[in-house]
Structures are given as C-alpha cells and as structure tokens.
C-alpha cells in the first residue's frame, strides 16, 4: 500500500511537471520562415489587405495618443524581424503593411498583444514568407527570422 502511494505521488509529480512545461511553451517567442514561391499575383494575394499606407490631402489620421487617461486596449509588445536573405522584404501584420526590412537587416516595432498573422513578400520576385499565425505574449518580445 505504501509503495503504491509512493508510485501514485511520483506519477502525479511527473504529470504536473509536464503540464507546467507545456503551459510555459504554449506560445513560442520565435518563428523562422523559409522563403517560398508565391502561387498568386501580388494584386490577388489573400494575405495582403492593405498593400501600402495612403494619405488623403487635408484629412490627416486622428492622433489617439493625445486623448489622455489610462491606456485602454492591448499591451504593446516588441516585434523584431531578422532578415537573413538578400532581398528587401515587405512585412504584413494581419494583412496590413507594417514596413520593409532591408537585405540582411533588422526591423523593430511595437505591436499589440495577442494572436496575429505574419506574412512577408520580396517585391519584384515570387518569394514569400508565411503566412504564419503567431502569438505575442503580453509585455514580451517576439522575433521572426526570415531565411533563404
């Protein structure tokens, strides 16, 4: 009976350790995407919702940071893109263009916490990265590495 109790306790400890390890690694802090050939034209790509930022003369965007008071919304997280390719890569977060990273360069920014779709394409080529669904943990950094 005593031996059976010891085995039960040992099994529970092992299972608890496994659950903790899975819970801690549920949202990785890194993603590496290998380049791929695009199967669609840039104009009909479902991963691109806003290809470029546009302005309308006389109608600037509202500055929401001047409203004052407490911040209401998702926490901002540090997003790093490490481009290990010889191409300029246009970056998209949830379909919106968030900028371009230079060949063998890095891009840094702050993005909201939560689940996002990341996608990149090398303009003038058929080379793409993603799409991949990632999760930005609250207040942590996330690195997306692009490889040839």
pLDDT tens profile 5-62: 455 555 445 544 443 333 444 677 777 877 777 766 656 778 777 666 555 666 665 5
Q: Return the domain boundaries, the chain.
A: 24-51+74-148
Cis amide bond preceding 131, omega within 30: yes
Q: Does domain 24-51+74-148 have CATH number 2.60.40?
A: yes
| 107/122 Cα distance (integer angstroms) | 15
Residues near 80 by beta carbon (within 8 Å), at least 6 away in sequence: 106, 107, 108, 141, 142, 143, 144
Span 108-121, average pLDDT: 92
pLDDT confidence of residue 18: 41
Residue 77 has pLDDT above 90, yes or no: no
More confident residue, 136 or 5: 136
pLDDT confidence of residue 74: 53
What is the end-to-end Cα distance of the chain in Å, rounded? 60
Q: What are the helix and strand counts (H, E) for the chain?
A: 1, 9
pLDDT confidence of residue 71: 46
Span 103-124, average pLDDT: 93
Residue 38, φ and ψ in degrees, nearest 5 = -75, 145
Residue 37 to residues 103, 129, 139: CA-CA distances in angstroms? Answer: 18, 9, 34
Instruction: Name the average pLDDT for the chain.
Output: 76
pLDDT confidence of residue 98: 92
pLDDT confidence of residue 37: 78
Candidate ranges 26-30, 42-46, 75-79, 119-123; pick with highest mean pLDDT:
119-123
Report the b/e string of 31-66 with b at 16+ CB within 10 A. Answer: bebebeeeeeeeeebebbeeeeeeeeeeeeeeeeee
Structure token pair of residue 15: 């299972």
Residue 145 has pLDDT above 70, yes or no: yes
> What global pTM score does this model have?
0.65
Span 98-119, average pLDDT: 93
| 87/99 Cα distance (integer angstroms) | 14
């Amino acid at each position: 009976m005593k031996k059976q109790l010891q085995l039960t306790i040992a099994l529970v400890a092992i299972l608890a350790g496994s659950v903790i390890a899975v819970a801690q690694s549920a949202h990785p802090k890194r993603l590496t995407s290998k380049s791929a050939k695009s199967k669609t034209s840039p104009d009909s790509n479902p991963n691109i919702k806003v290809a470029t930022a546009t302005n309308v003369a006389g109608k600037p965007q509202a500055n929401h940071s001047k409203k004052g008071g407490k911040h209401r919304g998702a926490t901002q997280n540090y997003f790093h893109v490490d481009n290990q390719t010889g191409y300029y890569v246009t970056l998209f977060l949830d379909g919106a263009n968030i900028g371009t990273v230079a060949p063998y360069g890095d891009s840094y920014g702050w993005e909201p916490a939560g689940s996002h779709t990341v996608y990149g394409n090398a303009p003038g080529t058929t080379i793409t990265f993603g799409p991949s669904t990632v999760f930005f943990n609250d207040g942590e950094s996330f690195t997306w590495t692009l490889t040839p």
